[in-house]
Chain A
Amino acid sequence: MSDMFIFMAQVYRELQPFVAHPEGGGHGVLEMPSGTGKTISLLSLIVAYQRAFPLEVTKLIYCSRTVPEIEKVVEELRKLMEFYSKQTRESNNFLALALSSRRNLCIHPEVSSLRFGKEVDGKCHSLTASYIRAQHHSNPSFPVCQFYEEFDAVGRQVPLPAGIYNLDDLKDFGRRKGWCPYYLARYSILHANIVVYSYHYLLDPKIADLVSKELAKKSVVVFDEAHNIDNVCIDSMSVNITRRTLDHCQNNVDTLHNTIHKIKETDAAKLKEEYRRLVEGLKEANVARETDVYLSNPVLPDEILQEAVPGTIRTAEHFVGFLRRFLEYLKSRLRVQHVIQESAPQFLKDIYDKVCIDRKPLRFCAERLQSLLRTLEITDIADFSAATLISNFATLVSTYSQGFTIIIEPFEDRTPTIANPVLHFSCMDPSIAIKPVFQRFQSVIITSGTLSPLDIYPRILDFHPVTMASFTMTLARTCLCPLIVGRGNDQVALSSKFETREDFAVIRNYGNLLMEMSAIVPDGIVAFFTSYVYMENIVASWYEQGILENIQRNKLIFIETQDAAETSMALEKYQEACENGRGAILLSVARGKVSEGIDFVHHFGRAVIMFGVPYVYTQSRILKARLEYLRDQFQIRENDFLTFDAMRHAAQCVGRAIRGKTDYGLMIFADKRYARADKRGKLPRWIQEHITDGSLNLTVDEAVQLSKHFLRQMAQPFRQEDQLGLSLLTLEQLESEEMLQKIAQVAHQT
């Protein structure tokens, strides 16, 4: 509780200049352990601002990572609003809503029964695209989505009534009115006071262009759970091209060619009309922008939109020919025997030399393809994903001369005999994708439970924060117990580093640690490994040595696999086993899906064991290129970045277990390297401050002793009174002079 006010004081400091000088603005990086009220403090403070200065802060854009997290934020917001209306005794006219993909919002009986997001999008498009609806106009038996029709007819005139709309509320509302909730939400975010959605909607240019383009400038943007935000940025700008992609694309081009021929015979006027439009420039072509997913386009520089499409690709046939040439060129590039790495300008020069493709038409490639697809009235966009990918690549490679690298690998490193050429066009600079966000919005707050070391984020994302702070938890009892186990009982040093990775002594000692823990920790234990391969090997040798069998005496074992559906099932069974008292162990992988999205509250995770330091696979060329880029551009040393990356993942993993102040859990770092200052210093402050000098290099037995002691203490009843005045404040306590001083003081320090 007291943490929340310190935290709020900090956010306040950040927002203050914003009100004082509306042009000033301020970005911030804030780290605060989860379960301490990060979300609600941010929400309540920003909402208070919105109420006080409705003209300065018009909108709050709250971005989170997963769908459940988005929904949780909206529920918190609902509580806040209920509190407001209870205190002020008047209903406020706030409109807040969550936005998600069609898959989560569609209510069309047929479309919504599809399981995968892509299918839903494709099907929805085939019912709502502008030309489909035009056809429906002339021929009413042509199927369209009645929800969209209804929304289009009346939904826009009446704004969504004020209130808090979670995904389900939107669906309910949509059903009642017969409107499409997805388009209703997309339309309503323009005038909503608070929007909650996934950060892809803001960071991925392909989606952002569609959804978030017109959001007001005077918005406050919050990125919650943002510890991986740089990877999200990079992912959304990178492209991989394999032979399969090219083959698909070849088919697409052939289809285009045939369709053009057919249309030419029947309806040549249509193509002429398109040509005319293209001469006039792309701006004109945006009539059907909203419903057509086509406009997805990697960051389009503004000048492109002003210009006309170059003459070489203006007619449909010429463009198809152009695509063919480009495709052939890519094919020839994929026929390499050795690894090639080059920059974007090198690539452009090569393509000009070999097939005489200029830079300018390449830049228009993506737009031109979308326009053509629209003209040809192709319904199934999912089919054309390969062609879209290639054209996006063309646009990206010709637009950015910096921050990207092209790597062509003829085969996978592990299987040098099997030819599987891949062209990686990978973004190395996360700031490219996030730059528009920082530029457009005046206040951007990046926050998470694990953001340490804080200073690296402004550097890699290239912005200047007003505040940077890492908060700790004020605890009535030490509810977390980080232990660094560096040795086995036989004094063998424990480490997952490459040299000792296959060492039986290490593997056995790791097994021993898990076994001992399984005997003393109640309910659930989650163990993280550094990679799938490592986990599989360890599990196999534990099986051979009979360690797993012994662990099974104490708890059931569930193991994450690379198949998400299988893992979901294992996860559910794991929770069931924790729930019914049997207790279970989940073996999982850092950087895996579980480590990123699943919380292990209370008895679902009483102990987290991190086997080894989760370094990223350093031999990958893409990573090497990125490290090089970071060194040259941002002066970040390779090792610093790698350690930072490993430690944030480790912190992310162990942080899964503590989800609040009443929660408790062991955090066991099983690698002697964690004891070093450079590793330890990169852990979040709230974990670091509980690592005592005595727990830096424990043996398995010592760790077991400490754990036993800790668990027994934690198992005592823990009541509200114990927390009052320390981590929980009553209103009187809060208003007391002393506490206010304390908060001001602490807030000032950080």
Chain B
Amino acid sequence: MASLSEEVLLVVKKVRQRKQDGTLYLMAERIAWGPEGKDRFTVSHLYADIRCQKISPDGKAKVQLQLVLHSGESTTFHFANESTALKDREAAKELLQQLLPKFKKKANKELEEKNRMLQEDPVLFQLYKDLVVSQVISAEEFWANRLGGVTNTDPAQYKYKQEVGISGAFLADIRPQTDGCNGLRYNLTADIIESIFRTYPAVKQKYNENVPHNLTEKEFWTRFFQSHYFHRDRINTGTQDIFSECAKQDEKGLKSMVVQGVKNPLVDLLSLEDKTLDEGYGVCGAQPSTSNSNRTVKESSNYAIIKRFNHHSAMVLAAGSRKGETPTDQASETSSTDGNSRDSDFFQPPVKKVKLQEEYEDLQQENRPKTVPLNLKKSDRYAHGPVPLQSQQYTTSQDIINSVNYIQHEMANYKPNLTQVLSSTVATSAISALSPGGVLMQAGAQQAINQMVPSEVQGELKHLYVAAGELLRHFWSCFPVNTPFLEEKVIKMKSNLERFQLTKLRPFQEKIQRQYLSTNVILLFSQWLRDWCW
């Protein structure tokens, strides 16, 4: 079982599991434990299977590490080496902390994908519930068809989903409230924390480093709000603050952005001037010097605010476009550094070429697709806010056109067939039957079916319909049956269908019949099903 080719990252001796001494191995892809003196692992988990790790509190006598798997099982290791137990555990924990996130992504990718699809598509979710949860077909069967389709078509499609950007003012949303005794309360929501992490990766890193073992989450955020980092006008003075490093990193990031320069030559202020005056020439030689030494405290704090606002906006902007674009972004970044070195002038950035040729669209020949201009009868009304809507049933213009056409068509083809008219007595009785109070005008008879049946029953019916459609889709996709595999599948699908009818349709039908004797919807439905299948 122990393949020797695996790279062992860490070996911890004297680790107990189920009261048995043994050795813990952390390898490249899994964690394993083998009892002492034996040559095989009794416990082995792929990192991908591990959901999280838990550690025993520091004060406890037993130094333990618990692994919780995705399946819900858990395994506990007890570090039993008296002198170094704590250190061993820390080492193992650290390593796991690094390893787990890598595998988590990999393993969960498919699961996430399925999850995402179910979340995004309520119909599919319902279908899943109807078919898989009730065990009409197995999950694999359900996914076999769909997932393949998605992954085959285009991975970009998945990325096409728009990322929700970050509000520029997420920090402003954390309104501090006085708690009555000389303190401030900040309310953080998960969204805000997410925003902070996405905008300031440095803070996230700090968080990962310090929480939960150095600080509790609460302490972490308390310090965050106390730091100069949050209060941008405070100047970075102390070094004991854990966020001073973040500030430095930000500074570095900002600087590297500045050094990298800009891609668009039209906004590059450095190269705008063709010939700058040499040093010493010019009138405004005595400009207020910009060096930091001459600045007063207030001025440099103002300067810090400006800088951080620029940085903040840049980060927010980057966070919005970061995901999904990372590879292209990198590519463009590397090319931009090339673009700055001057020998790549062979290839002028296309943006320059485009922008140099000023286009006046009003002078161009029009070749855009024609759009319908908004023709305002009363532009004032449009300009001065909305008019409260009357509650009306709107019909789309297409509907109206269709029905007009239809009526016209009907009228054109109408031919009174005078030879086959009813006799007057029959006609009279028919009229009396149709008049209010007549036989055919009894209450209820005229009610539309959709008014008769409560909406939940309708919903259920709809679900059943969709589910049946799905099953049939599976079923018919097997034809023509030309491989044994397909044959097998057809048989399976048939049994599935039968089961569906048994477990879903029949009860529903019975329910309906119990409640609404007069309707025969379900009959129609099962008939339809039968028609389709056989």
Q: Are B383 and A582 in contact (CB under 8 A)?
A: no
On whether A197 and B278 interact (CB within 8 A), knowing A536-B303, A593-B269, the answer reads no
Which residues of the other chain, A, contact B156 by a CB distance below 8 angstroms? Answer: none
Q: Is the CB of A561 within 8 A of B306?
A: yes
| Residue B152 interfacial (CB < 8 Å) | no
Q: B169 to A565, Cβ gap below 8 A?
A: no
- Within A475-501, which residues are at the interface with B (CB < 8 Å)? none
Measured CB to CB, the nearest residue on chain B to A388 is: B278
Given known contacts A553-B167, A593-B269, A660-B360, is B345 in contact with A561 (CB within 8 Å)? no
Alpha-carbon distance A537/B305, docked complex (angstroms): 10
Say whether A235 contacts B383, CB under 8 Å. no
Determine if A568 and B288 form an interchain contact, defined as CB atoms under 8 angstroms apart: no
**Could you tell me which residues of chain A, from 608 to 635, have a CB within 8 Å of some CB in chain B?**
620, 622
List the B side residues contacting A118 at CB < 8 Å: 278
B341 CB within 8 Å of chain A = yes
Is B273 in the interface zone, CB < 8 Å from A? yes
Cα A576 to Cα B313 with chains together (Å): 11
- When each residue 412-454 of chain A gets 1 if its CB lies under 8 Å from chain B and 0 otherwise, what string results? 1011001000101011000000000000000000000000000
- 4 closest residue pairs by CB, A with B: A549-B172, A240-B285, A198-B274, A552-B169
* A204 engages B275 (CB within 8 Å): yes
The reply to whether A67 and B317 form a contact with Cβ atoms under 8 Å apart is no
Q: Report the bound CA distance from A723 to B366 in whole Å.
A: 13
Q: Are A75 and B356 in contact (CB under 8 A)?
A: yes
Among A71-89, those with CB < 8 Å from B are 71-72, 75-76
B361 contacts the other chain (Cβ, under 8 Å)?
yes
Measured CB to CB, the closest approach of chain A to B269, in angstroms, equals 4
B418 on the A face (CB < 8 A): no
Cross-chain contact B274 with A104 (CB below 8 angstroms): yes
What does DSSP make chain A's interface, helix, strand, loop or mixed?
helix
Residues on A with C-beta less than 8 A from B280 are 239-241, 245, 385-386, 389
- Which one of B172, B281, B374 lies within 8 Å of A236 (CB-CB)? B281
Instruction: Please measure, in the bound complex, the distance between the C-alpha atom of A448 and the C-alpha atom of B190, giving whole angstroms.
Output: 54
Instruction: Indicate with 1 or 0, residue by residue over B312-356, a CB within 8 angstroms of chain A CB atoms.
Output: 011011001100000000000000000011110100100000011
- The answer for the CA separation of A685 and B413 in the assembled complex, in Å, is 70
* A161 adjacent to chain B (CB < 8 Å): no
Contact across chains for A575 and B267 when beta carbons are under 8 A apart: yes
Which residue from B266, B275, B317 sits with its C-beta under 8 Å from A576?
B317
Q: Which of A556-572 contact B (CB under 8 A)?
A: 556-559, 561-572
B53 within 8 A of A: no
B181 interfacial contact with A, CB 8 Å: no
Partner of B320, one of A207, A568, A569, A582: A582
Determine if A72 and B360 form an interchain contact, defined as CB atoms under 8 angstroms apart. Answer: no
B258 on interface, CB distance cutoff 8 Å: yes
Chain B 287-299 interface mask (CB, 8 Å, partner A; 1/0): 0111000100011
Which residues in B have their C-beta under 8 angstroms from that of A712?
382-383
| Interface hub of B278, B289, B382 (most chain A Cβ within 10 A) | B278
Which of A72, A197, A553, A580 contacts B168 (CB under 8 A)?
A553
Q: Are A572 and B383 in contact (CB under 8 A)?
A: no
Whether B283 contacts A593 by the Cβ 8 Å rule is: no
Task: Determine if B275 and A201 form an interchain contact, defined as CB atoms under 8 angstroms apart.
Answer: yes
Q: How far is the CA of A96 from the CA of B394 in the complex (A)?
A: 64
Output the nearest chain B residue to A415 by Cβ-Cβ distance. B294
Q: Given the known A-B contacts A104-B274, A712-B383, are A113 and B310 also in contact in the complex, defined by CB atoms under 8 Å?
A: no
Q: Is A240 within 8 A of B366, CB to CB?
A: no
In the complex the two chains form, what is the Cα distance from A71 to B358 in whole Å? 11
- Give the residues in chain A near B266, CB-CB below 8 Å: 68, 598
Quick one: which of A75, A412, A548, A719 contacts B286, CB cutoff 8 A?
Answer: A412
Chain B residues with CB under 8 Å of A556's CB are 168, 313, 316-317
Q: Does A720 contact B (CB under 8 A)?
A: yes
B173 to chain A, nearest CB (A): 8
Cβ–Cβ contact A568 & B373, under 8 A? no
Q: Which of A318-326, A362-370, A538-546, A643-651 contacts B (4 or more CB under 8 A)?
A: A538-546
**Which chain B residue lies CB-closest to A73?**
B356
| A539 interface neighbour in B168, B309, B360, B361, Cβ under 8 Å | B309
- CB proximity of B56 to chain A, nearest CB, Å: 43
CA A273 – CA B388 in complex, angstroms?
96
Inter-chain CA distance A642–B169, complex, in Å, is: 40
Q: Are B281 and A235 in contact (CB under 8 A)?
A: yes
| Nearest B residue to A99, CB-CB | B274
- Contacting pair B267 A113 (CB below 8 A): no
Task: Check A567–B269 contact: CB distance below 8 A.
Answer: yes
Chain B residues positioned under 8 Å from A100 (CB to CB) = 274
Within 8 A of B (CB), among A565-620: 565-573, 575-577, 580, 582, 584, 593-594, 597-598, 620
A contact residues around B168 at 8 Å (CB):
552-557, 582
Asked if B259 is at the interface (CB within 8 A of a chain A CB), the reply is yes
Are A573 and B317 CB-contacts (below 8 A) given A235-B281, A235-B282, A539-B302?
A: yes
Chain B 44-60, CB within 8 Å of chain A: the 1/0 string? 00000000000000000
Measured in the bound complex, the distance between the Cα atoms of B266 and A239 in whole Å is: 30
* Cross-chain contact A101 with B275 (CB below 8 angstroms): yes
Contacts A231-B283, A561-B306, A582-B165; A577 near B362 (Cβ below 8 A): no
Query: Does residue B499 face the partner (Cβ distance < 8 Å to A)?
Result: no
User: Least Cβ distance of A664 to chain B in Å?
Assistant: 12
From A113, A239, A386, contact of B341 by CB (8 A): A113
Contacts of A409 in B (CB 8 A): 286
- Supply 6 further A-B pairs (C-beta < 8 A) apart from A239-B280, A239-B281, A389-B280: A67-B272, A240-B280, A536-B299, A552-B167, A556-B317, A557-B168
Contacting residues of chain A (682-731) with chain B, CB-CB under 8 angstroms: 708-709, 712-713, 716-720, 723, 727-728
B: residues with CB less than 8 A from A are 165, 167-169, 171-172, 232-233, 254, 257-259, 261-283, 285-286, 288-290, 294, 298-299, 301-303, 305-307, 309-310, 313-314, 316-317, 320-321, 340-343, 345, 348, 355-358, 360-363, 366, 371, 373-374, 376, 379, 382-384
Q: Does A212 contact B (CB under 8 A)?
A: no
Contact B317 A240 (CB under 8 A): no
Is A66 an interface residue, CB under 8 A from the partner?
yes
Is B167 a contact partner of A66 (Cβ separation < 8 A)? no
Q: What residues of chain B lie closer than 8 Å to A140, measured between beta carbons?
A: none
Say whether B342 contacts A112, CB under 8 Å: yes
Whether A654 sits at the interface, judged by CB under 8 Å, is no
Flag if B172 contacts A662 (CB, 8 Å): no
B278 touches A389 (CB 8 A): yes
Interface centre among B274, B303, B360 (most CB of A within 10 A): B274
Closest residue to B174 on the A side, CB-wise?
A: A549
For the complex, give the distance between the alpha carbons of A178 and B442 in Å. 101
User: Nearest Cβ in chain B — how far from A714, in angstroms?
Assistant: 11
Q: How far is the CB of A560 from chain B (nearest CB, A)?
A: 9
Contact yes or no, B272 A68, CB < 8 A = yes
By a CB distance below 8 angstroms, the chain B residues around A415 are 294
In angstroms, Cα B345 to Cα A102, docked, is 14
- From the candidates A75, A200, A727, name the one contacting B357 in the complex (CB within 8 A): A75
Highest count of chain B CB atoms <10 Å: which of A238, A557, A570, A582: A570
Q: Tell me how far the C-beta of A66 lies from the nearest C-beta in chain B, rounded to whole angstroms.
A: 5
> Of B259, B270, B310, which contacts A559 at CB under 8 A?
B310
The answer to whether A533 and B288 touch across the interface, beta carbons within 8 angstroms, is yes
Contact (Cβ within 8 A) A66 B274:
yes
Q: Does A472 contact B (CB under 8 A)?
A: no
Query: Which B residue sits closest to A70, measured CB to CB?
Result: B274
Q: How far is the CB of A591 from chain B (nearest CB, A)?
A: 10
A150-203 contacts to B, CB under 8 A, are: 168, 171, 197-198, 200-201
* CB of A59 closer than 8 Å to a CB of B: no
Given A235-B277, A239-B280, A389-B280: A720 touches B366 (CB 8 Å cut-off): yes
Tell whether A550 is near chain B: CB-to-CB under 8 Å.
Answer: yes
Provide the residues of chain B in CB contact with A198, threshold 8 Å. Answer: 273-275
**Could you tell me the distance between the alpha carbons of A532 and B278 in the complex, rounded to whole angstroms?**
23
A594 CA to B270 CA, complexed, in Å = 11
In the assembly, what is the distance between CA of A519 and CA of B27, in Å? 56
User: Contact: A418 with B262, CB < 8 Å?
Assistant: no
For the complex, give the distance between the alpha carbons of A537 and B296 in Å: 13
